Amino acid sequence: MLSVHFKVLTKIIILGSLAILIRLILMPISVHPDLFFINMFPNLFYSQKVLEIFSFINDNFQNTRLSYYTPLTYYTFVLFQYPYHLISNSFSTWMTDLYQFYINRTQIAYTKDYLEQITNTFLFRDLLLAKIPYLLFEVGSLVLLFKFVKSKYLKPTTIITWLFAPIIIYSTYMHGQYDIIPAFFVLLGFYLLRKNPYTSLIAFGVAAAFKNYAILFVLIASIIYGKSVKEKLKMLIAGFLPYLISLLPVLISDPKLSIYSLFPKPYFQTSESLLGWPLVSRYLHLIVLGISLFFTFFIAAIIKTKDKWQTTLSASLVAITLVITLAPLVVFHYLLWVFPLTVLWLKKAKTIYLFTTLQTLFAASFMLLANRVQLGLFAPLNNQYFSSIPAFNQIIDRVIPYAIFSTLGYFAFVLINLALCAVVLNNVLFKSSLK
């Protein structure tokens, strides 16, 4: 028995070291403009003493469709950038130059444009620094997964599926989006949910204050764990407390901007002037999504099971899977929203890796169609070369119309997600142990 555990531990250490090496290699050599955008605005805290970013944007860019992420995102990256200034004397200047280029541009700019216009002698070092927070929060996520392993809920091999998950490697260390941060707080929320629902709701609330999809988990946990209407309301307040605290600087500066500061992207999307099928399609997606979520909340409210934790996990997994499947606009890195819950629910390493890899590939077939989100991400290595490489879909399109692959990929993506939802709901409705 000891020899078996030793072999498993050795395997995890070796593969874990390889996973860390992959991350450290990718961090300084790949980038999407999102990483610049995430960091250039917090740098204004140091360069222009901007204490509240949303009022600053409102006062200085009234005629543009400019927004930033949530207030907590701004202050978190302000905090992380402080040590950058001690390590790198080029980071702040680089961010200032990128910001000036961004606000003065006349059209959409991509990685190649930023790198052509703004040079940085220490580019690799500063890209590595910009992604250090992601690595720290992923380490925190792994610590939580080890706790699930220690409690016998997960097996040690599940850790490997996380370490080599394509969506984490791509979205976090190549693309440079920060979804790994709310993912950590979602994992923390489910870990704490077995011990204290109120602290769990606070963790979900922090996740939601970074990216508002985690509001779903606050609602579902409150519905399932609250024994009365009064208790459900108390739990909702606990879950929304981090939201309210993160809003305080905006509320003090300009109360009218408080709601917008949490939902800037939905605000711009719904204010777009669309005609014909694009407009009809948007509202069809929203209607179907709304009905599906209502059905999920209804099940969460009426089902009575001994294992409230498992029911909360199941309903949350269904809800967030429906969002990434049915929402009018879904971006590839949103798959990281559902990944931690998929890991906790599926549990078996091979099943997790097979499902999430297929889900990722199907999504990539119709979401990642431009060079800038493929090999163009490696522009820091050689801007001219990697920015000019044709996208994979363009190469395939020379032989067979890629529209066939992307359409099949889209339907496969929808079907695999809905199939997961059906399996989860079947488990909740018919296999749960009723009181």
What is the DSSP track for 372-391?
GGTGGGGTTT-HHHHHHSPP
Q: Taking each helix axis as running N to C, give the angle between helix 349-367 and helix 335-346, from 0 to 180 degrees, rounded to the nearest 10.
A: 160
Q: Which of 356, 316, 358, 339 is nearest to 214 (CA)?
A: 316
Specify the pLDDT at position 24.
Answer: 96
Distance CA 300, CA 225 (A): 10
Q: Summarize the confidence of residues 183-209 as an average pLDDT.
A: 96
Distance CA 326, CA 87 (A): 44
Angle value at C-alpha 208, between 205 and 210, nearest 5 degrees: 120
SS3 of residue 305 by DSSP: strand
Residue 265's pLDDT band (boundaries 50, 70, 90)? low
Residue 276's pLDDT band (boundaries 50, 70, 90)? low
The model's pTM: 0.93
DSSP state of 70: -
Distance CA 335, CA 322 (A): 11
Residue 334's Cβ-side half-sphere holds a number of Cα atoms within 13 Å equal to 20
Provide the greatest CA pair distance for the chain: 68
pLDDT surpasses 70 at 375: yes
Residue 363: which H helix or E strand, with range? helix 349-367
DSSP state of 227: S
Residue 298: which H helix or E strand, with range? helix 277-302
Distance CA 32, CA 61 (A): 23
DSSP state of 427: I
CB of 317 closer than 8 Å to CB of 345: yes
Q: Which residues of 61-89 are buried (b: 16+ CB within 10 A; e: fewer)?
A: eeeeeebbbbbbbbbbbbebbeebeeebe
Specify the pLDDT at position 321.
Answer: 98
- Residue 330 to residues 2, 8, 335, Cα–Cα distance (Å): 46, 38, 9
CA terminus-to-terminus distance, the chain: 38
Specify the pLDDT at position 4.
Answer: 56
Q: Summarize the confidence of residues 98-116 as an average pLDDT.
A: 91
Cβ neighbours of 49 (radius 10 Å): 7
Q: Summarize the confidence of residues 130-153 as an average pLDDT.
A: 96
Angle value at C-alpha 133, between 130 and 138, nearest 5 degrees: 130
SS3 of residue 434 by DSSP: strand
CB of 205 closer than 8 Å to CB of 241: yes
Specify the pLDDT at position 190.
Answer: 98
pLDDT surpasses 50 at 434: no
Q: Summarize the confidence of residues 367-384 as an average pLDDT.
A: 95
State how far Cα 372 lies from the chain centre: 19
Residue 304's pLDDT band (boundaries 50, 70, 90)? confident
Angle value at C-alpha 54, between 49 and 57, nearest 5 degrees: 80
pLDDT surpasses 70 at 162: yes
Q: Which of 213, 18, 42, 30 is nearest to 131 (CA)?
A: 30
Q: Which of 325, 353, 336 is nearest to 414 (CA)?
A: 325
Distance CA 279, CA 282 (A): 5
Residue 105's pLDDT band (boundaries 50, 70, 90)? confident
Structure-token match 């791509």, residue found: 170
- Which of 1-5, 58-62, 287-291, 354-358 shows the lowest mean pLDDT across its residues? 1-5
Q: Summarize the confidence of residues 209-217 as an average pLDDT.
A: 95
Q: For residue range 227-241, what is the model confidence (pLDDT) as tens digits?
A: 999 999 999 999 999
Distance CA 224, CA 268 (A): 33
Q: Summarize the confidence of residues 133-139 as an average pLDDT.
A: 97
Q: Which two tokens stand for residue 374?
A: 């493929």
Distance CA 87, CA 151 (A): 39
CB of 317 closer than 8 Å to CB of 342: yes
Distance CA 54, CA 82 (A): 21
- Which of 48-62, 197-211, 337-351 shows the lowest mean pLDDT across its residues? 48-62
